[in-house]
Amino acid sequence: MQLLQPKRVLLGVTGGIAAYKACELCRRLLDLGAEVQVVMTPAGTRFVTPLTLQALSGRPVRTDLLDPSAEAAMGHIELARWADLILVAPASADFLARLAAGNADDLLTTACLASDAPIAVAPAMNQAMWRSPATRRNVATLIGDGVQIWGPGSGSQACGDEGPGRMLEPEALLAHVQTALTGAGARSATGRSLAGRHVVITAGPTREPLDPVRYLSNHSSGKQGFALAAAAAEAGARVSLIAGPVDLPTPGNVDRIDVLTARDMLTAAEHCCRNGADVFIGVAAVADYRPATPAEQKIKKAHGDTGLTLTLVENPDIVATIAGGVPRPFTVAFAAETEQLVAHARSKLERKQVDMVVANDVSRKDIGFGSDDNVVTLVTAEGDEELPAMPKVALARLLIERIASRAGLSPTAGSKGHDVTSAMDKSN
58 torsion bin: left (phi>0), alpha (psi -120 to 50), beta (else): left
Nearer to ligand C5P, 142 or 333 (CB): 333
Say whether residue 334 binds ligand C5P (CB under 6 A). yes
Residue 162 CA to its chain's centroid (Å): 22
Nearer to ligand C5P, 89 or 284 (CB): 284
Nearer to ligand C5P, 167 or 367 (CB): 367
Q: Catalytic: 159?
A: yes
Rounded least distance, CB 284 to ligand C5P, Å: 4
Q: Which DSSP helix (H) or strand (E) runs through 382? A: none
Q: Are 287 and 218 in contact (CB under 8 A)?
A: yes
For 250-302, the DSSP string reads: PPTTEEEEE--SHHHHHHHHHHHHHTT-SEEEE-SB--SEEESS--SSPPPPP
Rounded least distance, CB 155 to ligand C5P, Å: 27
- Encode 215-245 in three state secondary structure: EECCCCCCHHHHHHHHHHHHCCCEEEEEECC
Rounded least distance, CB 249 to ligand C5P, Å: 21
Q: Provide the CB-side half-sphere exposure for 234 (13 A, CA).
A: 18
Number of residues that bind ligand C5P (CB under 6 A): 15
Nearer to ligand C5P, 34 or 203 (CB): 203
Binding mask 170-209 for ligand C5P (x = CB under 6 A): --------------------------------x-------
Which three-class secondary structure state does DSSP give residue 352?
helix
Say whether residue 318 binds ligand C5P (CB under 6 A). yes
Nearer to ligand C5P, 9 or 199 (CB): 199
Q: Provide the CB-side half-sphere exposure for 131 (13 A, CA).
A: 13
Of 164, 222, 282, 414, which one interacts with ligand C5P (CB under 6 A)? 282
Nearer to ligand C5P, 87 or 403 (CB): 403
Contacts of 286 (CB under 8 A, 6+ apart): 202, 206, 262, 265, 315, 317, 318
What is Dmax (Cα atoms) for the chain? Answer: 94
Q: Omega of the bond prior to 245 within 30 degrees of 0, cis?
A: no
Say whether residue 335 binds ligand C5P (CB under 6 A). yes
Say whether residue 319 binds ligand C5P (CB under 6 A). yes
Q: How far is 218 from 201, CA to CA, in rounded Å?
A: 18
For 174-222, the DSSP string reads: HHHHHHHHTSTT---TTS-TTTT-EEEEEESB--EEEETTEEE------
Catalytic residue from among 23, 26, 112, 159 = 159
Rounded least distance, CB 142 to ligand C5P, Å: 27
- Give residues 262-281 in contact with ligand C5P (rule: CB under 6 A): 262
**Choices 124-132, 210-218, 327-335, 378-386 (CB under 6 A): range interacting with ligand C5P:** 327-335
Say whether residue 123 binds ligand C5P (CB under 6 A). no
Rounded least distance, CB 11 to ligand C5P, Å: 38
- Residues with a known catalytic role: 159
Contacting residues toward ligand C5P, per CB under 6 A:
202, 262, 282-284, 286, 288, 315, 317-319, 333-335, 348
